Chain A
Amino acid sequence: MTGTALLQLSGITKRFPGVLANDNISFSVAPGAVHALLGENGAGKSTLVKMIYGVMQPDQGEMHFDGAPYAPARPSAARARGVGMVFQHFSLFEALSVAENVALGMNKDAIGKDLNRLIIEVSESYGLSLDPARFVGSLSVGERQRVEIVRCLLQNPRLLIMDEPTSVLTPQEVDVLFETLRQLSSEGCSILYISHKLEEIRTLCDRATVLRGGRVVADCDPREETAKSLAEMMIGTSLSFPERQEPDLGDERLVVEELSAESPDPFGTDLVDISFSVRAGEILGIAGVAGNGQVELMEALIGERATEDGAIRIDGEPVGRQGPTERRRRGMCSVPEERLGHGAVPDMSLWENVILSARTRKGIEKNGFLDLGIAHDFAREVVDTFNVKTAGIEHTARSLSGGNLQKFIVGREMLQKPTVLVILQPTWGVDAAAAADIHRALQELAKGGAAILVISQDLNELMAISTSFAVISEGRLSEPRPTGSMSIEEIGLLMGGVRSSAGKGASAGKGASAGQGAAR
């Protein structure tokens, strides 16, 4: 095995303060293989690939690339050896052009005279059309990923690392990406594919290394495994998903009617004519690719940005002009997408962070003065009830791990007993057991008569918990339908901007072009 491996890792260990991120990791990637690195959030995948790409260095262990010792001190050294990487959070510069972005990611001597022509050539030969002169800020998420990929391809990589590449793509875009990756692999380029999506790995990869808690727990051929067996390797315990019960719907609690709003961010998404309602006991799930207006919709719903007064109503009362505090008084709580710096103040303690959104409903604020005792008690209640792992409520929000902070914020909102809850990515970054707890809590809240709006990129999650379902794309919302009445294909087309109501012509056109892209 050692003889043929392109990349071989032996005993790689990396420590962070208080965490052993990678513990004695060894595996190898064969030439031309599509090799999956599978694991949950926090399993240590990202740390490992950053070491392979030279962003950080291992504390112990060694790597070999193409038979020779390999220890890149910086990414440029990795690139010089033929290792390219596409990051999960793109390392792109919005205010620079595609060509400039590509140039930045290449080593100096690798840039030829006519970069623009090269970009067009490479992007077309892999079915990833790109205009080198455009500003990255004006590109869609899928197009941005192409910039990253083209940037790597221009350096004729021998190993391409992809970090969770599909989490931001529509199902159709995923198909195009897989075609590209297969083409690369057939040309002899190895691909190290990081993901926690089991089906994807089963379709695409011919080898998989499974990480859990920073250790290698399995090495297998994913095509010979089932999704269930892969999941068990990844998670370690078997799962119980909440049972879905027939909802008992009450009155309309949250009504949104013809909501339109321009985004103040030049690269943001405008909301166009959004209408829907959520009844007591209903969980409306909204799916969509990131950056299609989810954040803007949430900001309008919770009152961070004012809209037409009648465009949003809570229990019949127009609230479009009211701020978040008044809306909370009316019963609306919310969990924003970004935990640190939006849902919580990073450098404030947990008890200070409960004042942020719970001061009205929990009676912490009276005549402008704060009752710090109540804030402490409530913070403790959140920590205990939602099993937040922290040394104490005096600790800052920043000191919590991503998943624990998510539990804290979700708990802070749910324990205020909202009658309307708007929640983005409810289980982002939490482990499977905690995710199941949050799902159960959401369903109980709904059963108790709350109207819940869940906005998520995780289709599986939405399918599991929502009672009705809609898709947001380019700031427009499809008509909500009962969950389960839509096929994955239909949802995929909606996510790709093809509206079901827009007639066959449009949808066929888009579908065809996507298909063409894949075929090329």
Chain B
Amino acid sequence: MIRLEPRNEVSKGLLYVTPVIAIGVTILAGVVMFAVLGKDPIRAISIIFLEPLTDSFAISEMIVKATPLILIAIGLSFGFRAGVWNIGAEGQFTVGALSGGAVALALYEVEGFWVLPLMCLAGALGGMAWAAIPAFLRTRFNANEILVSLMLTYVAVLLLSVLVYGPLKDPEGLNFPESRMFHPAATLPILIEETRAHVGFLVALAVAAVAWVVLGRHIFGYQVKVMGQSPRAAGFGGFVEKRVVWMCLMISGGLAGLAGLFEAAGPVGQLVPALPVGYGFTAIIVTFLGRLNPIGILLAGFVMALTYIGGETAQIEMNLPSAVTGVFQGMFLFSLLGFDVLARYRIRMFRTARTAPLAVQTAVGE
């Protein structure tokens, strides 16, 4: 008989080891899955998980994909610690791209060092505004932020689509539903020549560093932890739930909005209906895989980016559907959540020792 026993102390070591185990198990599950699909499993795994690491262009693309994931995930990690479940980062990402992009389009051909910072500000504010809706509805009307923020994602994607079909459509274009390309002054400087890796990545690194300090050394980080683990104790400590809810949603909304603007003003360079590609959802996995910890999220962001790049390569080389990426990401999260039990509980094997014969109670009990 197997029994779980809570540990006196969450095992710090296992907390770091379990994500690695989870990745290993996911790869094993992937082998099985590819075998079932009739694809060469070893080749598929090596294309997805190894080849991108040996190719410098692929690495730069990983930076491109990891940047929004890290930014969004760090924002989400505050809320997830506090029990504020912002599931609509995808929507905030979209609105951030939209509002920042609108600034770029409005100031088209205006040159000035301040254009880009203004766009960033608009992007972050757009994301915050979108996140303010669930924040307001939860704090004022007690409405579940999971459902509200998620519903708003669908609305945001439709909003983007309607605007690029209409007011933001490229006036010189061929009536395609897309905005014009942003002016060079309104696009992000490139980090590495000849690639799409942009300075947004440096921002993501800086945000991770700040988040690390705030979580470990600032009262807000402490507040967020207490609120998530024990709301009543938070009240005893003098922390106000509504304020924490607002702060968490503003941080995650703002960072998601910024990530959206970076995407529009970076690798994409314009507003198109297909701009939201699911970073907001994948970032949820990144957040958990990174253990809600900024440094962990940096690493997890790269692992997830790897599955994107690898998935794309596998799509081209082995004719695997791009959905493979989603399956892997889901399996990651499953196995991580499953193995977490090791860090929180001790697993004990028991031999059921009963001196009294088992048959007795059934015999007499009936």
Direct touch of chains A and B (CB < 8 A): yes
Complex Cα–Cα for A325 and B235 (A): 10
Residues of A within 8 A of B357 (CB): 69, 71
Which of A155-163, A275-283, A353-361 is the contact stretch?
A353-361
The answer, yes or no, to whether B281 is at the interface (CB within 8 Å) is no
Residues of B within 8 A of A357 (CB): 236-238
Q: How far does the Cβ of A31 sit from chain B's closest Cβ, in whole Å?
A: 18
* Contact indicator per residue, chain A 357-390, by CB within 8 Å of chain B (1) or not (0): 1010000010011101000000000000000000
The answer, yes or no, to whether B6 is at the interface (CB within 8 Å) is yes
Q: Are A324 and B9 in contact (CB under 8 A)?
A: no
Residues of B within 8 A of A395 (CB): 8-9
Q: Are B353 and A370 in contact (CB under 8 A)?
A: no
Residue of A nearest to B235 (CB): A304
Within 8 A of A (CB), among B346-366: 353-358, 360-362, 364-366
Q: Are B10 and A347 in contact (CB under 8 A)?
A: yes
Within 8 A of A (CB), among B327-353: 353
Q: Are B353 and A324 in contact (CB under 8 A)?
A: no
Q: Are A342 and B232 in contact (CB under 8 A)?
A: yes
Q: Are B238 and A325 in contact (CB under 8 A)?
A: yes
Q: How far does the Cβ of B310 sit from chain A's closest Cβ, in whole Å?
A: 36
Q: How large is the interface on B (under 10, 10 to 19, 20 to 34, 35 or more residues)?
A: 20 to 34
Which of A53-61, A117-125, A164-172 is the contact stretch?
A53-61
Given contacts A343-B233, A347-B229, A348-B229, contact A355 B8 (CB under 8 A): no
Q: How far does the Cβ of B344 sit from chain A's closest Cβ, in whole Å?
A: 9
Q: How far does the Cβ of A351 sit from chain B's closest Cβ, in whole Å?
A: 12
Residues of A within 8 A of B237 (CB): 324-325, 356-357
The answer, yes or no, to whether A62 is at the interface (CB within 8 Å) is yes
The answer, yes or no, to whether A402 is at the interface (CB within 8 Å) is no
Most chain A beta-carbon contacts within 10 A, residue among B9, B218, B235, B361 = B361
* Contact indicator per residue, chain B 230-247, by CB within 8 Å of chain A (1) or not (0): 101101111010000000
The answer, yes or no, to whether A70 is at the interface (CB within 8 Å) is yes
Complex Cα–Cα for A280 and B91 (A): 57
Residue of A nearest to B356 (CB): A71
The answer, yes or no, to whether B217 is at the interface (CB within 8 Å) is yes
Q: Are A345 and B219 in contact (CB under 8 A)?
A: no
The answer, yes or no, to whether B108 is at the interface (CB within 8 Å) is no
The answer, yes or no, to whether B165 is at the interface (CB within 8 Å) is no
* Contact indicator per residue, chain A 316-352, by CB within 8 Å of chain B (1) or not (0): 0000000111101000001010100111111111001
Given contacts A323-B240, A370-B219, contact A341 B353 (CB under 8 A): no
The answer, yes or no, to whether B212 is at the interface (CB within 8 Å) is no
* Contact indicator per residue, chain A 39-69, by CB within 8 Å of chain B (1) or not (0): 0000000000000000001111111000011
Q: Are A369 and B236 in contact (CB under 8 A)?
A: no
Q: Are A61 and B233 in contact (CB under 8 A)?
A: no
Q: Are A62 and B361 in contact (CB under 8 A)?
A: no
Q: How far does the Cβ of B226 sit from chain A's closest Cβ, in whole Å?
A: 5
Q: How far does the Cβ of B241 sit from chain A's closest Cβ, in whole Å?
A: 11
Given contacts A347-B229, A370-B218, contact A62 B9 (CB under 8 A): no
Residues of A within 8 A of B226 (CB): 345, 348, 356
Q: Are B236 and A342 in contact (CB under 8 A)?
A: yes
Q: Are A396 and B8 in contact (CB under 8 A)?
A: yes
Q: Are A81 and B364 in contact (CB under 8 A)?
A: yes
Complex Cα–Cα for A61 and B353 (A): 10
Q: Are B236 and A336 in contact (CB under 8 A)?
A: yes
Complex Cα–Cα for A345 and B366 (A): 46
The answer, yes or no, to whether B5 is at the interface (CB within 8 Å) is yes
Given contacts A59-B353, A341-B230, contact A80 B366 (CB under 8 A): yes
Q: How far does the Cβ of A316 sit from chain B's closest Cβ, in whole Å?
A: 22
Q: Are A348 and B236 in contact (CB under 8 A)?
A: no
The answer, yes or no, to whether A17 is at the interface (CB within 8 Å) is yes
Q: How far does the Cβ of B355 sit from chain A's closest Cβ, in whole Å?
A: 5
The answer, yes or no, to whether B169 is at the interface (CB within 8 Å) is no
Residues of A within 8 A of B10 (CB): 347, 396
* Contact indicator per residue, chain B 285-315, by CB within 8 Å of chain A (1) or not (0): 0000000000000000000000000000000
The answer, yes or no, to whether A197 is at the interface (CB within 8 Å) is no
Q: How far does the Cβ of A67 sit from chain B's closest Cβ, in whole Å?
A: 11
Residue of B nearest to A396 (CB): B9
The answer, yes or no, to whether A399 is at the interface (CB within 8 Å) is yes
Complex Cα–Cα for A328 and B237 (A): 10
Complex Cα–Cα for A351 and B229 (A): 16
Residues of A within 8 A of B8 (CB): 395-396, 398-399
Given contacts A62-B356, A71-B357, contact A341 B217 (CB under 8 A): no
Residues of A within 8 A of B6 (CB): 398
Complex Cα–Cα for A338 and B230 (A): 12
Q: Are A369 and B217 in contact (CB under 8 A)?
A: yes
Complex Cα–Cα for A355 and B222 (A): 9
Write 28 A-B pairs (CB below 8 A) sorted by A numbering: A58-B354, A60-B353, A69-B360, A70-B356, A70-B360, A72-B361, A73-B358, A73-B361, A302-B236, A323-B240, A324-B238, A326-B238, A334-B236, A338-B232, A341-B232, A343-B233, A345-B225, A345-B226, A345-B229, A345-B230, A346-B229, A356-B226, A356-B233, A356-B236, A369-B218, A369-B219, A396-B8, A399-B9
Tell me the A residues contacting B by CB distance below 8 Å.
17, 57-63, 68-73, 77, 80-81, 299, 302-304, 323-326, 328, 334, 336, 338, 341-349, 352, 355-357, 359, 365, 368-370, 372, 394-396, 398-399
Contacts A62-B355, A370-B219 aside, 10 further interface pairs with beta carbons under 8 A come to: A57-B354, A71-B358, A81-B364, A345-B230, A345-B233, A347-B229, A369-B218, A370-B217, A372-B217, A398-B8
